[in-house]
Amino acid sequence: MKKQKQEISRNKLLGLAGTGWMFDAMDVGILSFVIAALAVEWQLTPSQMGWIGSVNSIGMAVGALGFGMLADKIGRKNVFMMTLVLFSVASGLSALTMTLTAFLILRFFVGAGLGGELPVASTLVSESVEAHERGRVVVLLESFWAAGWLLAAIIAYFVIPNYGWRLALIITALPAFYAIYLRRRLPDSPKFELDGKPKQSAVEKIKTLWSKKYARRTLMLWIVWFTVVFSYYGMFLWLPSVMVMKGFDLIHSFKYVLIMTLAQLPGYFTAAWLIERAGRKFVLATYLLGTAASALFFGNAETLPLLLTSGALLSFFNLGAWGALYAYSPEQYPTAIRATGSGMAAAVGRIGGIFGPLLIGTLLAAGYGFDLVFGIFCGAIIIGVIAVVFLGTETKQTELE
């Protein structure tokens, strides 16, 4: 009976946090389709399109750092709810903008909420489940990202061509009401409640991250997060636009990206199955190598079958790697600095997310092809693999400090 209660509690936590995670993904996913629609309606240049994705990542960097530190001070649950409200309201307001400048300002605040929620939610779940299933549960939490992207693709396909991008963004404001439900239903981290109350200042926590004991782990995480986010936001925020630039109309491009997005789910589920068997390092390195190869093929693909196949493989491997990374990151630090450490790693990653979309916009405007752009992303991911293999420490089924 006790085991059954724990199972229900774990599943309830996964469902509550995962739904918030799904809304987060829905907003990021919608943005990729909105960029393609805005490019047509506002006649944006590739550089301006790149700035939309990059401003989002600037906000995510600020949010991951600030809200990560705040979560170590006031608790994971409170910050989780705050970030959910912030990105939902700002996203809804961005639907009312008439200029690119106003849109960019609001996308910064959307990004701050998104960037803060993800490391805090993964830390909360990581601290709330047993060591033998922690990795699997956190990867399953990440799988809600695929559900959110699918939801975004469905909304984009049925709403944007018929009713416009503004209605699509108004729909993304609805998750704000979910925070009211979370306030009553979501428990805070038992580890934080027990011994995570703040004993160090923010400066002392950052110094601890770079102390002799944690410096190698911190360096590894920062490198991996930077390369993964740089490549992910460079590639995925541009997917619908890339399909349009390859000659497909808006509706067909949305449909093809929806098909590619479906491959995210088996990517997560296979990673969740492997992570407690083969370990974090193996899953992360293997799925990143698969991402690198898929990026190379996608950048050079010219026919529709090759585009769909390589795009689906890109979704499969990249999102499986994301799941492993979110499981791996909180396991590197003790409770008192866990959200700060995970948040700072995510913030460094978001800096990569600033440059990824800008890189595509700049190179395309300069006349370079997709083969070069996706080749650069392939190389960046290889650097992340090297960091995991040579600097990473296996944390499979170990108790959190």
Q: Are 240 and 32 in contact (CB under 8 A)?
A: yes
What pLDDT shows up at residue 226? 96
State CA 232 to chain mean position distance.
8
What pLDDT shows up at residue 199? 66
Residue 253 exposed, middle or buried by CB count within 10 Å (0-12, 13-18, 19+): buried
- What type of residue sits at position 370? F
What pLDDT shows up at residue 99? 93
How many Cα atoms within 13 Å fall on the side-chain side of residue 112?
Answer: 15
Among the listed residues 383, 252, 232, 393, the one whose alpha carbon sits nearest the alpha carbon of residue 318: 232
**Cβ atoms < 10 Å from Cβ of 138:** 29
- What type of residue sits at position 387? A
Give the whole-angstrom CA distance, residue 224 versus residue 217: 11
Residue-by-residue DSSP string for 1-69? -HHHHHHHHHHHHHHHHHHHHHHHHHHHHHHHHHHHHHHHHTT--HHHHHHHHHHHHHHHHHHHHHHHH
Residue-by-residue DSSP string for 260-286? HHHTHHHHHHHHHHHHTTT-HHHHHHH
Report residue 291 as tokens: 């991402």
Among the listed residues 14, 129, 132, the one whose alpha carbon sits nearest the alpha carbon of residue 396: 132
Rg (CA), the chain: 20
Give the whole-angstrom CA distance, residue 21 versus residue 319: 14
Class of domain 2-182+201-391: mainly alpha
Q: Are 117 and 84 in contact (CB under 8 A)?
A: yes
Give the whole-angstrom CA distance, residue 220 versus residue 223: 5
Give the whole-angstrom CA distance, residue 113 versus residue 25: 12
At 360, is the secondary structure helix, strand, or coil?
Answer: helix
Under DSSP, the state recorded for 394 is -
Alpha helices in 276-369 (DSSP H): 280-300, 304-328, 335-365
Tell me the pLDDT of the chain (401 aa) as tens digits. 444 444 447 788 888 888 888 888 888 888 888 988 898 899 988 888 888 888 888 898 899 889 988 888 888 888 988 998 898 899 999 999 999 999 999 999 999 998 888 888 888 888 888 888 888 888 888 888 888 888 888 888 899 988 999 999 999 888 878 877 777 777 777 877 776 566 677 788 889 999 999 999 999 999 999 999 999 888 887 777 778 887 887 778 888 888 888 888 899 889 989 998 899 999 999 999 999 999 999 888 888 888 899 989 999 999 899 989 988 998 999 888 888 898 899 889 988 888 888 888 888 888 888 889 889 999 999 999 999 999 998 888 777 77
Report residue 224 as tokens: 């991996």
What pLDDT shows up at residue 6? 46
- What type of residue sits at position 138? V
Report residue 394 as tokens: 């296996």
Q: Are 400 and 90 in contact (CB under 8 A)?
A: no
Helices then strands, counting H and E runs in the chain, come out as 17, 0
Contact partners, residue 155, CB within 8 Å, separation at least 6: 26, 30, 168, 171
How many Cα atoms within 13 Å fall on the side-chain side of residue 319?
Answer: 30
The residue with tokens 């944390």 is 395
Q: Are 397 and 131 in contact (CB under 8 A)?
A: yes
